[in-house]
Structure 1
Amino acid sequence: MFAMETWKIMEDKMIDINKRSCIFILQAFSKGGYIKEAFNWLNFLAENDRMHYAPMFNIFLSGCWSSKSFNHVDRCLELMENQLVGKSEITHWELLKLAVLQRNLSAVHEIWKEYTRYYSPSVIMLRKFIWCYAKLGDLDSGNAALKHLLVLARQGSASLSISGTGNYQSSAVDIPIPTKEKSYEKRFSLDNLSSLTFEGNPEKNEGPVEVSMDESSMGHHSIMKNLELKKSFESQSKLNIIDALLLKINGNTFFNELGKGRCIPVAHTIFDGAVRIDSSNFQVKQEDFSELSSGKMKQGLEMTSCPLKNLLRWSFNDMIHACAQSNNYQMAEQLFLQMLDIGLKPSEHTYDGFVKAAIEGKGVDYGMKVVKMMQERNIKPYNNTFAVLSVGYSRTLELDMAESFSNKISDKLPKNIHTFNTLLAACGFMDEPERAVRVLAKIKRLKIKLNIRTYELMFTLFGTVNVPYERGNILSHMDVTKRIGAIEMDMMKNGIHHSYASMKNLIRALGSEGMIQDMLRYLDIAENLLWQTDAHQTNDLYNIVLHALVKAKEVSRLLNSAVNRHKAIEVFRSMRSCGLPANVATYNIMIECCSMLKCFKSACAIISLMLREGFYPQTLTYTALIKVLLANEDFEGALNLLDQSHSEAIQLDVQLFNTILREAYIKRRIDVVELVVESMHREKIQPNPTSLWYTFSAYVESDFHSTAMEALQVLSMRMISEDNEILQGKKSVFEELILNEDPDVESEIIKTFKGSQEFLATALMNLRWCAIMGYSISWSPEESQWAKRLANKVST
């Protein structure tokens, strides 16, 4: 507004407005975000036959980019056409930025094609195109442009300098190109980018990306040289090597066939900077840079200026980071090695991208090796590097390493909350709330704002006190109430509302702690807050509530009948009356509810309803039905149902067998225990520690101590493997651990077989205990008298 007032004063005083004044006024509007006023100013100048220059339109396009205003871009290009204002390199750069902002790779390819029609690409524009391709994930086109940039750098035909403002500038004169065709401007319309048509599909790297000469570019090359180049390209059309880069090495010219990784000699042609690059079917091979990595390439770069080396390094960095985003470690490694081969020193930013690519491609341990290499070279990693390492170790559940690297983060950028959220999620998975408290303290010290994901994890981590160690009580319920209140208060302070996930985690936490009334109250709140949630998500909330009610054995009294019914039935009926769809999990929970009511008839009714709605019984369904029969001490019916599930090709699991083992152990039914154990063996279902506990305890409590030890040894062997050959193959290694007299061997066993091999550690510890008790260890469990007796018993 101040600029407009100044202009009006100039008019009142009849002071002529010049080019600089027009530019200043336009800058005031564009940089201030007044795009409509800026365009009106351009129109005003046109209507009054004022001077028009390409820089003025470039300023306006830059304002459209900074304010993310795309509505006036097409009108600006149309005005340029009407005023016969040609496009300069800066104009194309502004259009490129707008295309990248809209994530439109097709527009970038079209701009490249139009730009190279009139210009021989300069190193600065090549660097900018590389940046665009890297941002949009087009590694093939970016790689081709980078090869062209390296050729120019090797030839020494590119020169750069630094302006007084610190910007890099080329010695070439930026002459705006003429506007010949009216449709030329429309092809760059960013309001209609989705309707652009090209030769091929640039999104799939099928469209041509050319760097060629045109007769209109007389200021750069002579017509004779241009015709000579065209003849050279035409002579290669029979070889079908459009995807090629024209190189001159040791006086000879080659086409490097990028898609096949081999060099084909062509006619002797003088290289003068004109290159044709086609990105169709472009596939990068390990040999892509073989010509460029020669000693002469390195020697050529040593003679280049420092600004040009920086520009090359930035372009490599962009490509390496793009490889990390696209999970293309092979290309990232190739680019990194190429930098070293040509004598271009990698920067901290280079290593940051390479570490990210290494972690995505080869794992966090390999990324750690790259960091150690940085330390050997006295290169300090970025905070981003520490963050990606922390995320990598969090995903592999190596929490000590993950926390160590998260502590090295020193900046308070909002994006770092992702690193800490990943670590918090790992803390929740490993049940380490104490570590999570330290992580939250670190976030607070850095003053990083929490997001909804952080609060979702906090409800999981701190929404319970005793679970899974023991049941909740009055004191733990009071503590949980205080915690949840504090978390929700902090959410309100930061202006963050509940999401579906946060409410789901909160309801699950309350149910696990046994706070049934609070859980039901939050279910009502969730239904009101999350009214846009789809029916399936609402069904998940109800399933959590139903599961908690079944586990808590909550009973409510209905006034219309003097009969005690489980609260879960009431919630299920409410769910059905609201028209919410039920799924297999819902029916399985309700069948398990029938086990508490000891009503097999009701369970059959639910099965009937389940079948009518198109759901077929699964393993969990049979497990729930068996629980109902066992609640009535119908072991024969449970075993018959187990046989039926096998005949119906149901995928049996260890939990199904453990359900029967548990009740047989409680009721001292050793006969049932032995039948189930032998059935597991015949079905090749490996026992788990729970299976061992029920079997061993059943014999011990019946005073069959020798049998208990024999059963423990056999089942421990089966936990290691059901295959006798595998057991014999591992005998020597495991026997050394079992019979070792070193007092620290037990901790070594636990450490060695942690994680996914935890059951193996349990089996070895059981066998070691048997050896300590004086029992000989047999690695042929089928030779055990106990195992033989069970096999004969089931056969008869």
Structure 2
Amino acid sequence: MYRALRLSPLRFIVSSKLTPTVSRGRGRSGIDDNSAACSCSRSVTTLIGICNEFIRCQDESSSTRKIFIPKKTRKILQVQIVDALRSGERHGASSLLLKFVHGKYSLRAFDFHGILEYCARSPDPVFVMETYTVMCKKKINLDSRSLLFIVQALCNGGHLDKASEFIYALGENDSISPLLPVYNFFLGACVKTRSWNYAGKCLEWMDQRRVGKNEITYAELLKLAVFQRNLSSVYEILKHYVDNYSLNILSLRKFIWSFTRLGDLKSAYELLQHMVALASRGEKVVSKLDIPIPSTGQTAVSEKVAFGANDHGNNTVECKSSDARSKKSKSSKVALPKGRNKVPATRVLRWSFNDVIHACGQSKNSELAEQLMLQMQNLGLRPSSHTYDGFIRAVAFPGGYEHGVALLKVMQQQNLKPYDSTLATVSAYCSRAFQVDLAEHLLDQISECPYTYPFNNLLAAYDSLDQPERAVRVLARMKQLKLRPDMRTYELLFSLFGNVNAPYEEGNMLSQVECCKRINAIEVDMVKNGFQHSPTSRKNVLRALGAEGMVNEMIRHLQRAENMHVETATYNIVLHSLLEANETNMVIKIFKRMKACGYPADAATYNIMIDCCKLIHSYELACALVSMMIRDGFLPKALTFTALMKILLNDGNFEEALNLLDQAALQEIHLDLLSYNIILRKAFEKGVIDVIEYIVEQMHREKVSPDPTTCHYVFSCYVENGYHATAIEALNVLSLRMLSEEDKESLQERKAELEEKYVMSEDPEAETKIIELFRDSEENLAAALLNLRWCSMLGVRIIWSEDQSSWARELSNKYG
């Protein structure tokens, strides 16, 4: 039993400004102004008067003999006060409280436990302080439960500041012993509300007042360390814990939970194995009597936790136990502890396995997750839906979505219903692998989904597959689930629905009007949900407008974006779209404005501008841009050389174009097939056979395989100049190079098969079989076989080795 609080708590009462709870019964709040009790809703003047009266009464001796009110009657009055509070009759509750304390009856703290406990549970911080003030006036000594209820009511009511003042007053009063449960509850409230400042004060007071710690304190400290992402604190807490307590199943679970939340899988796994050892030998879940450990004392225990450094320099935990390392639990069943335990050991063990497996899912540690699942089976622990939720996250990935789907079937066989989060995870992986039918089917099974990522992944898949009509169903599903889109959703919507026409189709008046309607509708919904354009959404809008040829609208959107912030990639989209629309003057104007505003150009910007020089036939300006490009730190790439060659070839300057080709080779810049075909096309148009032959040999040296376009330009150039035999031989050689540029031995091995089945076959379906290869995405193989079959039909002997071709030898000798 503790003596009544005196000066410090009274100072706290005067400074309190608690918000009264609104009454549901009479629509009033606070306490009756005519009552004699002290209420937290009274004015400061009234509170000071009551406090002074209470202090004066402290010095007076009571000459009247107190009469105990019957226990049953006291209980009835408490129930009546609680019922009045529960029904919202705060005025009646205050009157009953005064009736309860008035009279010459001796009351003690336990007579108010029912009232204070209800205020703590409700919570009702106003009435709890009213009751506390009345108790002070009547000189009723507070006990530990009363103090705890008062702190609980203040904390649960959101008044941590007032609870902090109350706890501070406890320490200021020498007649009140420090109460560990009060500090523990306040510390837990600070952790729950993320009030780190108050938590720090609480720990400081506990240390100053030598309150000590018990297992509840350590549990709250663990939560505090996890919320603050402080792994070193968890190590320190574990060290102090084992100095005073023996590790049991429940305490191990808390530490395992902490390590998994902070990503320390190694420590969590080691503690889990220690828990398995304890559970296997029948360790009980219920811990022994929890005696607070003084701040200055330590208790010897049989099991210690040593701290060291692993290979990576991180702190690790090693549980030293005589049984933990000697006894293996590979195939042993976990023994249920004897006695009346509230929670079976197997359930607690399964919870910890789930924690570690979920941590494996966060770090994508599939190997450890599979090892833990196997251990659960060996221990006789049946995985739950929660277990599979973490396991699927660990072992499934975009390229191996089949594993996730297979695990869903296993869950179905075990009559386990997958979580919505599990279905969402597998659906997202299916979407990334473009298994859109399966992904959509899984999303249809979800009943609730607070996150948008699986739907966004499916929308992104439909965007890549150019199937906007299927994306409409996804949006309908999101609306059905009342799932609010996020910014990523809107970015995808602009990409999916901004462009009306199919790829490679030019916009028209109708498509442009529809494009504006769609973009405006998406923007209105986006603003309605509180989102502004992101750089990605802005780029998608500009790209859609540019694809439709809506130059003016695109420029207006760019101007609005310039008022906030524009990235270089955004300017590149606008410049490219203007270039596609042959708006060269506007391209130059936007480029100048971009440089004037301080936005740096990148390699893509310069390549776009060099392409613009091709349209205005200005090689000098293109060279100037290359100089600017080099000064800005961007070296010319294959794309740059190709653009420069286009300008020269348009003017018929083959010599300079070939010089650029040689310069690229000297700089070890490997040009692609497109660059060579551009030169071949111009040489074919001009009928320049020497250039044709030089480029063909250059391609052979650089090991660039020809394609059907290459064959067309070379064959047609020879034919146009009357060299028919040479044209057929060149077509034969180029077709061989299409079949195998590097692996000539493989081609010789397949020679008989290709001749018999395709090239010289008399089967009328031979050409149909060749065409089937196009459907299998083997265009070069099919084109080469058709060329060889055509040469054979002309009566020419097919050459299967370049060494047999005089044309190939001549080009090698001439240009090699």
TM-score, normalisation: structure 2: 0.75
2:168 paired residue number: 43
Identity of aligned residues (%): 44
After superposition, what is the alpha-carbon deviation per residue over 1:742-779, rounded to whole angstroms, capped at 9, x for unaligned? 9997898567x5xxxx4xx2224435655886957969
Greater alpha carbon shift after TM alignment, 493-502 vs 683-692? 683-692
DSSP 3-state at the match of 1:627: helix
Inter-CA distance 645–347: structure 2 relative to 1 (3 Å threshold): same
One-letter identity of the residue aligned with 2:322: L
Asked if structure 2 preserves the Cα contact closer than 8 Å seen for 1:410 and 1:446, the reply is yes
Distance between the aligned counterparts of 1:293 and 1:87, measured in 2?
Answer: 37
Inter-CA distance 6–324: structure 2 relative to 1 (3 Å threshold): closer
Distance between the aligned counterparts of 1:674 and 1:762, measured in 2?
Answer: 24
1:684 paired residue number: 703
User: Counterparts of 1:728-743 in structure 2 under 5 Å?
Assistant: 728=748
User: Counterparts of 1:445-594 in structure 2 under 5 Å?
Assistant: 445-466=480-501, 468-530=503-565, 538-555=567-584, 566-594=585-613
Inter-CA distance 386–433: structure 2 relative to 1 (3 Å threshold): same
Inter-CA distance 363–455: structure 2 relative to 1 (3 Å threshold): same
Asked if structure 2 preserves the Cα contact closer than 8 Å seen for 1:33 and 1:63, the reply is no
Say yes or no: does 1:74 pair with 2:182.
no
The one of 460, 468, 477 equivalent to 1:425 is 460
User: Counterparts of 1:391-410 in structure 2 under 5 Å?
Assistant: 391-410=428-447
Distance between the aligned counterparts of 1:601 and 1:391, measured in 2?
Answer: 51
Inter-CA distance 524–362: structure 2 relative to 1 (3 Å threshold): closer
Computed over aligned residues only, the root mean square deviation of the Cα atoms, in angstroms, reads: 3.6
Inter-CA distance 638–421: structure 2 relative to 1 (3 Å threshold): same
1:175 paired residue number: 291
Structure label with greater radius of gyration: 2
Inter-CA distance 482–384: structure 2 relative to 1 (3 Å threshold): same
The one of 452, 462, 477 equivalent to 1:442 is 477
2:223 paired residue number: 97
Asked if structure 2 preserves the Cα contact closer than 8 Å seen for 1:106 and 1:203, the reply is no
The one of 26, 34, 38 equivalent to 2:151 is 26
After superposition, what is the alpha-carbon deviation per residue over 1:493-542, rounded to whole angstroms, capped at 9, x for unaligned? 11111112211222222223322222222222112122xx6xxxx22222
1:247 paired residue number: 323
DSSP 3-state at the match of 1:209: strand
The one of 133, 149, 155 equivalent to 1:11 is 133
Asked if structure 2 preserves the Cα contact closer than 8 Å seen for 1:658 and 1:690, the reply is yes
User: Counterparts of 1:172-321 in structure 2 under 5 Å?
Assistant: 172-180=288-296, 206-207=314-315, 209=317, 246-247=322-323, 291-294=328-331, 297-298=332-333, 300=335, 307-321=344-358
2:22 paired residue number: none
Distance between the aligned counterparts of 2:723 and 2:525, measured in 1?
Answer: 58
Asked if structure 2 preserves the Cα contact closer than 8 Å seen for 1:348 and 1:381, the reply is yes
Inter-CA distance 486–594: structure 2 relative to 1 (3 Å threshold): same
Asked if structure 1 preserves the Cα contact closer than 8 Å seen for 2:799 and 2:805, the reply is no
One-letter identity of the residue aligned with 1:376: Q
The offset of 1:35, in angstroms, is 2.4
After superposition, what is the alpha-carbon deviation per residue over 1:24-72, rounded to whole angstroms, capped at 9, x for unaligned? 3322332343322221221123334445432222221222222111112
Distance between the aligned counterparts of 2:146 and 2:739, measured in 1?
Answer: 84
The one of 345, 351, 365 equivalent to 2:402 is 365
The one of 158, 168, 192 equivalent to 2:284 is 158
After superposition, what is the alpha-carbon deviation per residue over 1:441-463, rounded to whole angstroms, capped at 9, x for unaligned? 22222221111111111122222
The offset of 1:326, in angstroms, is 1.4
User: Counterparts of 1:109-188 in structure 2 under 5 Å?
Assistant: 109-159=235-285, 170-180=286-296
Stretches of structure 2 lacking an aligned partner (at least 5 in a row): 1-17, 19-123, 299-305
After superposition, what is the alpha-carbon deviation per residue over 1:138-170, rounded to whole angstroms, capped at 9, x for unaligned? 1110011101111110111223xxxxxxxxxx2
One-letter identity of the residue aligned with 2:323: L
Asked if structure 2 preserves the Cα contact closer than 8 Å seen for 1:731 and 1:779, the reply is no
Stretches of structure 1 lacking an aligned partner (at least 5 in a row): 160-169, 183-197, 212-243, 249-253, 257-290, 556-565
Inter-CA distance 65–702: structure 2 relative to 1 (3 Å threshold): farther
The one of 58, 62, 65 equivalent to 2:191 is 65
1:219 paired residue number: none
The offset of 1:203, in angstroms, is 12
Distance between the aligned counterparts of 1:462 and 1:200, measured in 2?
Answer: 58
Say yes or no: does 1:350 pair with 2:387.
yes
Aligned residues: 673
Distance between the aligned counterparts of 1:181 and 1:599, measured in 2?
Answer: 88
The offset of 1:97, in angstroms, is 1.1
Inter-CA distance 412–687: structure 2 relative to 1 (3 Å threshold): same
Inter-CA distance 429–208: structure 2 relative to 1 (3 Å threshold): closer
Distance between the aligned counterparts of 2:453 and 2:401, measured in 1?
Answer: 17
TM-score, normalisation: structure 1: 0.76
Distance between the aligned counterparts of 2:168 and 2:807, measured in 1?
Answer: 95
The offset of 1:90, in angstroms, is 1.4
